[in-house]
């Protein structure tokens, strides 16, 4: 009887598994400590043996003396029963799961009161988008200025901003360490640790499902949204890329001063940038093809460089504490973003130097508006079509059209200095933050081949057609006038 009870207890223990939810994530709180259960069953068995006066070590069960007539048959039957039970117990020991340390999931489980409300999460997300959009726009403008130098091999300088921003996006997308604790429970890290300790044949599929769930969870964390959507999205600019495509097509792409004739005898620049001479229309096709091919090739490769960097630095990457992020970083960034926006508006009204308006102040004033618009439009429109991210497509086309209008107004003969500066701020700030290359490249690489070709071709084709209609109607009629502000 004691052996049957112990056997039944072991069968119940061995049949317990980790609960896996329908979305592929693990509920680590339902894990059963197999060691504790087995020890409890053995203690129960020992108590039963002691109560029944059975000593298994001294008097094994089913031991009989064989008789003359039936000794061989009885001994064979008893040994068969014992061998079957021993083999069954051996098989269970081989297939038994290794002990699971429940502290893996319970040690940093947040309290219910620690998790922010839905309203607080929305406020934190908006604050992060505002704050990091400033850094994205400033990084893009600064990198464009650094890469526009005499003899530059690539004169469309937004290329390097798009390249660098996509590298950072790839790193953030692949990294599993920075936001390891997610909303307080490191489900992906626990799944990896459990798979490492177990020999389950489903461990590979479990890790893949947990990693996919971790990626979806990251997109709800305000700090991640601020870095990926706010910074990388504002650092890269789809509208500026299409603008350079049009300028290459119309032979108006500005180039650095790289000839002695561009300077006076004392070394003073005669003009801001050089302009190209008239050329055959066939060269315009080569020029626009170069801008498109180089940008796409570099940015797609940049995404994989970022992914490789995340994999390479995985053992050394730090992890952000959930409690520190929630209790300190989130409120501080919301406060800092609003204060920075107010300061930028005041500086744009009362600038220390009037030239600062066109160089960057107006761009910073309009940047949060473009970033917030892009985020919420994509949030609501992208789920409409799984094979065509309509939200990203809409903001890229809208931002490109607005840039075309602002560029045309800036290069009109009736433009004033302040109008020129506002137009430059709209192009660099609002349109630059409203449109994005980094997210667009991620979508192109995650879609299947057919939908990716359709999505990419329509994005470039429709946006370029918009600029040809808006900017081309002025360029090929009255022509562009020189701008009246410094940018």
Residue with tokens 């990388």: 232
What pLDDT band is residue 68 in, cutting at 50, 70 and 90? very low
- Is the pLDDT reported for residue 282 higher than 60? yes
What pLDDT band is residue 87 in, cutting at 50, 70 and 90? low
Higher pLDDT: 111 or 158? It is 158
Percentage with pLDDT > 70 across the chain: 67
In the chain, where the domains are located? 2-100, 119-183+220-475
**What's the confidence (pLDDT) of residue 52?**
47
Q: Taking residues 49-66, what's their average pLDDT?
A: 44
What pLDDT band is residue 314 in, cutting at 50, 70 and 90? confident
What pLDDT band is residue 198 in, cutting at 50, 70 and 90? low
- Is the pLDDT reported for residue 22 higher than 80? no
Among the residue ranges 127-136, 190-199, 267-276, 408-417, the one predicted with the least confidence is 267-276
**What's the confidence (pLDDT) of residue 103?**
41
Q: Taking residues 189-195, what's their average pLDDT?
A: 66
**What's the confidence (pLDDT) of residue 206?**
65
Q: Taking residues 278-295, what's their average pLDDT?
A: 92
What is the per-residue pLDDT across 132-179, written as a single tens digit (0 to 9) for each? 999 999 999 999 999 998 888 899 989 999 999 999 999 999 988 888
Q: Taking residues 477-485, what's their average pLDDT?
A: 87
Q: Taking residues 2-14, what's their average pLDDT?
A: 46
What pLDDT band is residue 34 in, cutting at 50, 70 and 90? very low
- Is the pLDDT reported for residue 296 higher than 70? yes
Q: Taking residues 285-298, what's their average pLDDT?
A: 96
What is the per-residue pLDDT across 348-398, written as a single tens digit (0 to 9) for each? 999 999 889 989 999 999 999 999 999 999 999 998 988 999 999 999 999
SS3 sequence of the chain: CHHHHHHHHHHHHHCCCCCECCCCCECHHHCCCHHHHHHHHHHHHHHHHHHHCCCCCCCCCCCCCCCCCCHHHHHHHHHHHHHHHHHHHHHHHHHCCCCCCCHHHHCCCCCHHHCCCHHHHHHHHHHHHHHHHHHHHHHHHHHHHHCCCCCCCCCCCHHHHHHHHHHHHHHHHHCCCCCCCCCCCCHHHHHHHHHHHCCCCCHHHHHHHHHHHHHHHHCCCHHHHHHHHHHHHHHCCHHHHHHHHHHHHCCCCCECCCCHHHECCCCCECCCCECCCCCCHHHHHHHHHHHHHHHHHHHHHHHHHHHHHHHHCHHHCCCCCHHHHHHHHHHHHHHHHHHHHHHHHHHHHCCCCCHHHHHHHHHHHHHHHHHHHHHHHHHHHHHHCCCCCHHHHHHHHHHHHHHHHHHHHHCCCCCCHHHHHHHHHHHHHHHHHHCCCHHHHHHHHHCCHHHHHHHHHHHHHHHHHHHHHHCHHHHCCCCCCCCCCCC
Higher pLDDT: 408 or 270? It is 408
**What's the confidence (pLDDT) of residue 104?**
42
**Distance separating alpha carbons of residues 157 and 166, to the nearest angstrom:** 15
Q: Taking residues 303-331, what's their average pLDDT?
A: 90
**What's the confidence (pLDDT) of residue 66?**
41
**What's the confidence (pLDDT) of residue 77?**
46
pTM summary value: 0.74
Q: Taking residues 271-296, what's their average pLDDT?
A: 85
Q: Taking residues 242-260, what's their average pLDDT?
A: 86
Higher pLDDT: 30 or 249? It is 249
């Amino acid at each position: 009887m004691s052996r049957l009870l112990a056997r039944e207890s072991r069968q119940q223990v061995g049949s317990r598994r980790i609960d896996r939810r329908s979305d592929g994530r693990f509920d680590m709180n339902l894990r059963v400590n197999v060691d504790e259960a087995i020890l409890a069953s053995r203690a129960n068995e020992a108590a039963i043996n002691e109560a029944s006066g059975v000593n298994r070590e001294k008097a094994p069960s089913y031991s009989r003396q064989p008789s003359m007539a039936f000794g061989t048959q009885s001994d064979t039957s008893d040994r068969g029963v014992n061998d079957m039970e021993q083999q069954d117990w051996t098989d269970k020991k081989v297939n038994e799961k290794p002990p699971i340390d429940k502290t893996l999931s319970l040690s940093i489980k947040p309290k219910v009161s620690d998790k922010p409300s839905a309203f607080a999460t929305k406020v934190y997300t908006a604050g992060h988008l505002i704050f990091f959009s400033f850094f994205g726009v400033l990084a893009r403008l600064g990198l464009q200025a650094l890469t526009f130098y005499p003899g530059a091999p690539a004169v469309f300088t937004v290329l390097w901003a798009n390249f660098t921003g996509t590298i950072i996006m790839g790193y953030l997308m692949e990294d599993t360490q920075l936001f390891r604790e997610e909303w307080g429970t490191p489900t992906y890290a626990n799944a990896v640790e459990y798979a490492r300790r177990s020999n389950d044949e489903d461990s590979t599929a479990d890790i893949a499902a947990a990693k996919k769930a971790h990626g979806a969870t990251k997109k709800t964390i305000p700090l991640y949204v601020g870095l990926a959507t706010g910074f990388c999205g504002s650092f890269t600019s789809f509208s500026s890329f299409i603008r350079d495509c049009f300028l290459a097509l119309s032979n108006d792409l500005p180039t650095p001063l790289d000839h002695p004739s561009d300077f006076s005898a004392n070394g003073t620049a005669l003009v801001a940038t050089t302009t190209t001479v008239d050329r055959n229309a066939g060269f315009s096709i080569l020029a626009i093809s170069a801008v498109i091919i180089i940008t796409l090739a570099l940015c797609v490769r940049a995404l994989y460089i970022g992914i490789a960097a995340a994999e390479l630095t995985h053992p050394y990457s730090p992890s952000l504490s959930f409690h520190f992020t929630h209790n300190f970083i989130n409120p501080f960034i919301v406060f800092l973003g609003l204060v920075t926006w107010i300061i930028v508006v005041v500086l744009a009204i009362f600038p220390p130097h009037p030239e600062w308006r066109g160089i960057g102040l107006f761009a910073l004033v309009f940047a949060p508006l473009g970033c917030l618009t892009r985020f919420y439009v994509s949030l609501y429109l992208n789920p409409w079509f799984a094979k065509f991210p309509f939200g990203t497509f809409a903001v890229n086309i809208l931002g490109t059209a607005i840039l075309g209008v602002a560029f045309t107004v800036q290069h009109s003969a009736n433009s004033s200095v302040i109008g020129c500066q506002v137009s430059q701020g709209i192009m660099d700030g609002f349109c630059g933050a409203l449109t994005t290359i980094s997210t667009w490249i991620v979508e192109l690489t995650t879609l299947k081949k057919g939908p990716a070709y359709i999505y990419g071709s329509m994005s470039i084709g429709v946006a370029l057609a918009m600029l040809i209609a808006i900017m081309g109607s002025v360029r090929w009629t009255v022509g562009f006038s020189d701008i009246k502000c410094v940018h």
